[in-house]
Amino acid sequence: MRLFVLLACVCFTYAEEQKLPEARLLSLKKVLNRYLVENRDVSVDYELFNVGDAPALNVKLTDRTFPPSDFDVVSGSLDAKFEKILPGANVSHSLVVRPNKYGLFNFTSAEVTYRISEDSTEERISFTTEPGQGGIMPEVEYERRFSPHYLDWAVFALVSMPSILLPYFLYHSSKSRYEGLVKSKAK
Amino acid sequence: MSGVSKAKKLTREDELLQQFSNNVTARNSATFYGNAAIVAILPIWLFYRIQQLDLVSNAILFTAVSAVSTYLLAMAYARVQFVTKHKLAQKREQAINREVALEFGDRKVSRDERDERVLCRKNEVAQYEATHYSIFYNNSVFLSLVVFLGFYLFRSLAPGLNYILSVGGSAGLVAFLSTGK
Amino acid sequence: MKIFAVVFTSLLLVGVSLAEDDEATEQVETIEDLIPEGTGYEKHPGADTHILFTKPGGGYRLVSGQEAHILLGFINRASEDLFIDTLDASFRLAGDYNSVIQNLSAVGYNRKLSTGQEASLFYQFHVDNVFSGMPVGLEVSLMYHDSEGKVYREAVFNSTLTVEEPEVSFDAETFFLYVFLAAAIVLGAVLLLQCVSRNKKPSGRTETGTKDGDVDYAWLPSTVLKQGTPKSTRQKKNKSE
């Protein structure tokens, strides 16, 4: 009986070795912004992890989910190419877009195509993660809620200072004049 | 001679009464209303820029609230000025005595004339100082209240309501505080 | 490769049956045998999954008090379309996998994968501070269905992890503890000093009246001053007594 088990183990290990090494890419698409505002930059980050045994070749990342009518690309590009991603390595790509409309927008996956190994010609199509639905808020509302308005406060302080300081100065000058009179006599 | 002096005294009495009455002179009133109008308009800038309250579309709101605040502020100015004037007059009495004495020098002047001069001067100075103190005090309280109410307490309300409550509320509070002392 | 797998399984079965014949062991029916384990769903043979922990990175790790991010890769090796439904996770007792400590919310994806396509799924959950330092069983299970509507469930990650403690740079609790201690020390020192100084106090504090030079005579009209000096008045008083 033990012989059978031994034979079985040998067959098993042999069977394992026959599995070909291939690349496997896990791709992550993230929207880095906390708030999505109309006409303000939205940063999108892509990360590709190779968790396979072989290097991923001819990796092409394409994002078709930002229609040019609704989004302007500010920096980076919607496409990226990586010649080779070694097993265990990861690469990243970033993109900055600017929405020119407000409302709900569903951020869906971008597409990654790569060759799984040097020997194979199979091009695997892989979809990145979906960041999900986000609300792009109108610019006016964002302005009202979030900007620090330092300049506005400074101008207000500047303009209101005369109305406060001038009367105080006049009052103070008169007051000190008369109090000085009292003190000088007391001496 | 006594008749003329009596007549003089009467008119003098009237003048004194007028000086010590609550009624404000036209010039003083103009100062108050002018200052109040300027200060009531100042918060509009804040609300326009920070709370994004459009100027043109809310013009009616702005003018109405500004008018009400101007009136309330001017009222507060007058009240605080009146109260402070009396306090200041008492405080300045000694100093003014000295000043008048210095003015006259060694000349021999009648007591009446000296007292009259002192009274006049005292009133003048007290009025002047009280006016400026009142404007300063009320302005500071009003502006700080507007900032506190509009940008902390009522921050989350709709901008229009926020403006009415903070500016109107501050003006009301300032007027109310002025009745205290 | 498949041939070898078939050979292996057949050999194993033969071996097991032979073993059973040799050792005629009694099999007692336990409760586990009557109630089926798991939800009854199975794994689709064409689903190939791979899990990666992106936060905290460096293998399969969990840090208490922080978010954990999981990236799941799913390759559709079947010949039909597969539809990914949800991904959910749960914390279980390290020893007993059937007792659930915490069920984490499920996230729906509703994605269609054609043959040969691959999808990445992102899942995140918060590891509570309660788990700090203890071993916990984490099970991440994926639910998907095929074009016929048959539902599959697969535990893409099912093992015990020890939850690590976070590296704390600034802890408000310990900071304020130090502040409190410092305040207590300062208070103690102040009290001590007071005690010491109190012992010194009741020594030679005689009451002296007003001296001659302290009084300001400037306010008196000059006529009154001429009348009598303080010395003369005192002499007068002494004389009268």
pLDDT at B95: 83
> Does residue A47 form part of some domain?
yes
pLDDT tens string A105-157? 999 999 999 998 888 888 889 999 999 888 898 988 887 767 777 888 888 88
Rounded to the nearest angstrom, the minimum Cα separation between B141 and chain A is: 10
Region C173-193: mean pLDDT is: 93
ipTM for the complex shown = 0.74
Q: Which H or E run includes C96?
A: none
SS3 state at B176 = helix
pLDDT range class, residue A98, cuts 50, 70, 90: very high
Beta-carbon separation of C54 and A28 below 8 A: yes
Vertex A94 angle, CA A88 and A95, to 5°: 155
Task: Check whether residue A57 and residue A87 sit in a common domain.
Answer: yes
> Does residue A78 form part of some domain?
yes
> Does residue A106 form part of some domain?
yes
pLDDT at B115: 83
Q: Can you give the length of chain B in residues? A: 181
> Does residue A12 form part of some domain?
no
**DSSP one-letter code for C114:** -
Q: Count CB neighbours of A127 within 10 A.
A: 20
**A160, A179, A182 member nearest B42 (Cβ):** A160
pLDDT at C165: 87
Q: Which site among C3, C8, C20, C110 would you substitute to test the A interface, given the most A Cβ atoms closer than 10 Å to its Cβ?
A: C8
pLDDT tens string A23-65? 899 999 999 988 899 998 999 999 999 998 889 899 999 999 9
Q: When comparing pLDDT for A151 and C179, which is higher? A: C179
Task: Check whether residue A59 and residue A138 sit in a common domain.
Answer: yes
Strand runs labelled E in C2-132: 47-55, 62-63, 67-76, 82-93, 100-113, 118-126
Task: Check whether residue A56 and residue A118 sit in a common domain.
Answer: yes
Cα separation, C124 vs C199, in Å, equals: 67
Beta-carbon separation of A8 and C15 below 8 A: yes
Q: Which amino acid is at B108?
A: K
Task: Check whether residue A93 and residue A71 sit in a common domain.
Answer: yes
**DSSP one-letter code for C28:** -
Beta-carbon separation of A171 and B92 below 8 A: no
Chain C residues whose beta carbon lies within 8 Å of the beta carbon of residue A65? none
> Does residue A81 form part of some domain?
yes
Give alpha helix (H) positions in chain C: 2-22, 31-34, 172-200, 222-227, 230-240
Domain that holds residue A164: 150-186
Each domain of chain B, given as residue ranges in start order, spans: 27-179
**B92, B95, B132 member nearest A167 (Cβ):** B132
Beta-carbon separation of C50 and A24 below 8 A: yes
> Does residue A30 form part of some domain?
yes
Task: Check whether residue A76 and residue A136 sit in a common domain.
Answer: yes
Q: Which site among C11, C120, C121, C124 would you substitute to test the A interface, given the most A Cβ atoms closer than 10 Å to its Cβ?
A: C120
Task: Check whether residue A106 and residue A178 sit in a common domain.
Answer: no
The chain C residue lying nearest A46, using CA atoms, is C120
Is B42 in the A-facing interface, judged by CB distances under 8 Å? yes
Task: Check whether residue A137 and residue A168 sit in a common domain.
Answer: no
Task: Check whether residue A119 and residue A68 sit in a common domain.
Answer: yes
Chain A touching partners, 3 or more CB pairs below 8 A: B, C
Residue in this structure with the two tokens 């059937």, named with its chain if needed = C98
pLDDT-wise least confident of B48-62, C7-21, C224-238: C224-238
Distances A75 to A34, A55, A92, C112, C124 between C-alpha atoms, Å:
19, 29, 15, 31, 29
Burial class (CB in 10 A: 0-12, 13-18, 19+), C182: exposed
Rounded to the nearest angstrom, the minimum Cα separation between A69 and chain B is: 28
Beta-carbon separation of A49 and C75 below 8 A: no
Task: Check whether residue A48 and residue A104 sit in a common domain.
Answer: yes
Chain A residues whose beta carbon lies within 8 Å of the beta carbon of residue B98? 181-182, 185
Is B159 in the A-facing interface, judged by CB distances under 8 Å? yes
Chain B residues whose beta carbon lies within 8 Å of the beta carbon of residue A171? 129, 132-133, 136
Q: Are A68 and A97 in contact (CB under 8 A)?
A: no
Model confidence at C234: pLDDT above 70: no
Chains B and C touch (3+ CB pairs under 8 A): no
pLDDT at C204: 59
The pTM for the full model equals 0.54
Question: Domain holding A66: CATH number?
Answer: 2.60.40.10
Is B110 in the A-facing interface, judged by CB distances under 8 Å? no
Cα separation, C219 vs B11, in Å, equals: 37
**C71, C109, C117 member nearest A26 (Cβ):** C71
pLDDT tens string B80-122? 988 888 888 888 888 888 888 887 777 777 788 888 888 888 8
What secondary structure, in 3-state letters, does B39-101 show?
HHHHHHHHHHHCCCCCCCCCHHHHHHHHHHHHHHHHHHHHHHHHHHHHHHHHHHHHHHHHHHH
Is C13 in the A-facing interface, judged by CB distances under 8 Å? no
pLDDT tens string A148-171? 778 888 888 888 888 888 889 988
The chain B residue lying nearest A166, using CA atoms, is B136
> Does residue A5 form part of some domain?
no
pLDDT-wise least confident of B58-62, B151-155, C186-190, C213-217: C213-217
Q: Count CB neighbours of A151 within 10 A.
A: 10
**C4, C52, C71 member nearest A11 (Cβ):** C4
Task: Check whether residue A135 and residue A178 sit in a common domain.
Answer: no
Model confidence at C114: pLDDT above 60: yes
Q: Determine the angle formed by the axes of helices B169-178 and B59-104, rounding to 10 degrees.
A: 30
> Does residue A29 form part of some domain?
yes
pLDDT at C208: 67
Cα separation, B87 vs B82, in Å, equals: 9
Q: Which amino acid is at C233?
A: T
Region C77-97: mean pLDDT is: 89
Task: Check whether residue A130 and residue A75 sit in a common domain.
Answer: yes
Chain C touching partners, 3 or more CB pairs below 8 A: A
Cα separation, A114 vs C231, in Å, equals: 116
Chain B residues whose beta carbon lies within 8 Å of the beta carbon of residue A163? 35, 38-39, 42, 135, 139
Enumerate residue ranges in chain B where pLDDT < 50: none
Cα separation, C156 vs C144, in Å, equals: 12
Task: Check whether residue A30 and residue A120 sit in a common domain.
Answer: yes
Chain B touching partners, 3 or more CB pairs below 8 A: A
pLDDT range class, residue A99, cuts 50, 70, 90: very high
Is C77 in the A-facing interface, judged by CB distances under 8 Å? no
pLDDT at B4: 56
The total number of structural domains in chain A stands at 2
Chain A residues whose beta carbon lies within 8 Å of the beta carbon of residue B49? 149, 152
Rounded to the nearest angstrom, the minimum Cα separation between A102 and chain B is: 18
Sheet holding C100-113, edge to edge: C62-63, C151-164, C135-146, C82-93, C100-113
pLDDT at B173: 92
Chain A residues whose beta carbon lies within 8 Å of the beta carbon of residue B133? 167-168, 171
Beta-carbon separation of A12 and C19 below 8 A: no
The chain A residue lying nearest B52, using CA atoms, is A144
Beta-carbon separation of B49 and A168 below 8 A: no
**B92, B129, B140 member nearest A171 (Cβ):** B129
DSSP per-residue codes, chain A = -HHHHHHHHHHHHHHHHTSPP---EEEEEEE--SSEETTS-EEEEEEEEE-SSS-EEEEEEE---S-TTTEEEEES-SEEEEEEE-TT-EEEEEEEEEESS-EEEEE---EEEEE--SS---EEEEE----EEEEEEPHHHHHHHH---HHHHHHHHHHHHHHHHHHHHHHHHHHHHHHHHHHHHH-
**B35, B51, B96 member nearest A144 (Cβ):** B51
Q: Are A31 and A133 in contact (CB under 8 A)?
A: no
